[in-house]
């Protein structure tokens, strides 16, 4: 059963004030998108590696479209916000202790992922909306990338962002947020500092966001008080050309090009979902993280055809380290079969993430897929022949799924809903049985 419970509204200030530390670096994640002409066959290809604390579990959860009562509330990770009359169907990958999402998609072909970033203005320690909450809210309420952007910035203005990004009572790490928001036709890069924000529209080529502010002088939408705020802080004179990342980045932050973007640009015009998956698996470039503190705990890749008659296909690992995981396909149809084996246990009101003070215990959040995959990771990491055979077999299972999805995309007729409603369920079930 997916954790989707009620999180009380309070502050973390009591613990944040008790800890003296420099601003910690954000986890080194990476989001990428390729649009025509770089993407093959007029597709839009999206990808995200979620780097998080090594022992954190992510679950993959589907929520159907829903109607809501007037004046009802939705309980996010730390605070409640007003609910809307109708929410879209979504599929998300999220750290199992929180309400929001690291990455996900909705039934209208919108994909969103976020990155934690540091900025000149420290992120608020007071509990508010997490960047990950805003990912989910954008997916639930936006039917296009631009609509999702508008949802996120409106909620940011009203409620702010803040709170602990980690399930850890011994730390209080809060970050600003950047987002890659994508649909069939375009992408938006949205970067935020407190309630202030700027966004750039991308309609062709490739784009990558990592854990630094990346917007420069090309800004297509912004908070109405963004520049006056920068002037009041003494960060911009008002005379020089306004460069968002130069104005708002920390003094010791040196902008560098995302390694994933370099890899995508080398592909020229042939980028496919397989290309994206290969890049997400690349440890040598730093796109796939496996360090002492952080691990790529889950990954996602999506194919968004520009033809509305073809289905969007989203691939999730639901397990750590994409180089040792299987990307499994998901397609939105009515009556999608839920996948409890990829969902973490629910602890209800006894969850230490809900009780205050928070995070005094860390329960076992491993789901059945995660537990089965732990064995596979250990065998592959051993470097023995058994591990090499296992990885070849896993890649062959994945290849079969990718080829089946290619056939669906190439077909002039939409897939039979009855045949794909249990697609992700069957893939997870097959993977678990294979590991056993």
Query: Would residue 31 show up in a list of annotated catalytic residues for this protein?
Result: yes
Judged by phi (left if over 0) then psi (alpha if -120 to 50, else beta), residue 156 lies in alpha
Work out the number of other CB atoms within 10 angstroms of the CB of residue 335. 9
Choosing from 16, 31, 312, 427, which is the catalytic residue? 31
Contact between 272 and 278 (Cβ < 8 Å): no
Tell me how far the alpha carbon of residue 322 is from its chain's centroid: 14
Judged by phi (left if over 0) then psi (alpha if -120 to 50, else beta), residue 228 lies in alpha
Distance CA 152, CA 133 (A): 9
Work out the number of other CB atoms within 10 angstroms of the CB of residue 71. 7
Contacts of 30 (CB under 8 A, 6+ apart): 48, 49, 51, 115, 208, 209, 210, 258, 259, 260, 280, 287
Distance CA 387, CA 380 (A): 4
Q: Three-state DSSP class for 370?
A: helix
Q: And the tokens for 434?
A: 């294979």
* Alpha helices per DSSP H over 173-287: 226-232, 244-248, 259-265, 273-280
Nearest Cα residue to 115 out of 178, 190, 184: 178
Catalytic residues, by residue number, are: 31
């Amino acid at each position: 059963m997916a954790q989707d419970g009620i999180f009380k509204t309070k502050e973390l200030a009591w613990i944040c004030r008790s800890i003296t530390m420099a601003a910690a670096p954000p986890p080194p994640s990476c989001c990428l998108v390729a649009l025509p002409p770089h993407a093959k066959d007029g597709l839009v290809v999206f990808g995200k590696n979620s780097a998080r604390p090594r022992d954190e579990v992510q679950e993959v959860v589907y929520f159907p479209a829903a109607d809501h009562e007037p004046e009802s509330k939705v309980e996010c990770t730390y605070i409640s916000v007003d609910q809307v009359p109708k929410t879209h169907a979504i599929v998300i990958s999220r750290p199992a202790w929180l309400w929001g999402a690291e990455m996900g998609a909705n039934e209208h072909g919108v994909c969103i992922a976020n990155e934690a970033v540091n900025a000149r203005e420290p992120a608020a320690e007071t509990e508010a909306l997490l960047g990950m909450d805003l990912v989910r809210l954008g997916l639930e309420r936006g039917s296009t990338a631009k609509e999702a952007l508008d949802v996120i910035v409106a909620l940011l203005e009203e409620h702010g962002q803040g709170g602990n990004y980690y399930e850890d009572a011994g730390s209080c790490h809060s970050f600003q947020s950047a987002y890659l928001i994508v649909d069939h036709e375009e992408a938006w890069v949205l970067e935020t500092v407190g309630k202030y924000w700027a966004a750039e529209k991308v309609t062709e080529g490739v784009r990558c966001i990592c854990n630094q502010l990346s917007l420069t002088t090309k800004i297509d939408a912004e908070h109405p008080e963004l520049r006056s705020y920068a002037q009041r802080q003494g960060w911009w004179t008002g005379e020089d050309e306004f460069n968002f990342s130069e104005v708002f980045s920390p003094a010791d932050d040196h902008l560098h090009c995302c390694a994933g973007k370099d890899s995508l640009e080398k592909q020229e015009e042939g980028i496919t979902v397989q290309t994206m998956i290969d890049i997400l698996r690349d440890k040598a470039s730093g796109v796939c993280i496996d360090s002492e503190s952080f691990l790529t705990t889950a990954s996602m890749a999506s194919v968004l055809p520009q033809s509305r008659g073809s289905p969007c296909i989203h691939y999730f690992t639901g397990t750590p380290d994409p180089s040792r995981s299987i990307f499994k396909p998901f397609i939105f149809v009515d009556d999608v079969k839920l996948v409890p084996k990829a969902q973490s246990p629910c602890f209800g009101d006894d969850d230490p993430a809900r009780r205050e003070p928070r995070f005094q215990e860390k329960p076992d959040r491993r789901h059945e897929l995660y537990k089965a995959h732990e064995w596979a990771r250990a065998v592959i990491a051993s470097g023995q022949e058994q591990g090499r055979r296992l990885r070849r077999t896993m890649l062959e299972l994945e290849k079969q799924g990718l080829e089946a999805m290619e056939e669906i995309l190439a077909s002039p007729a939409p897939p039979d809903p009855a045949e794909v409603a249990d697609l992700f369920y069957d893939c997870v079930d097959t993977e678990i049985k294979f590991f056993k």
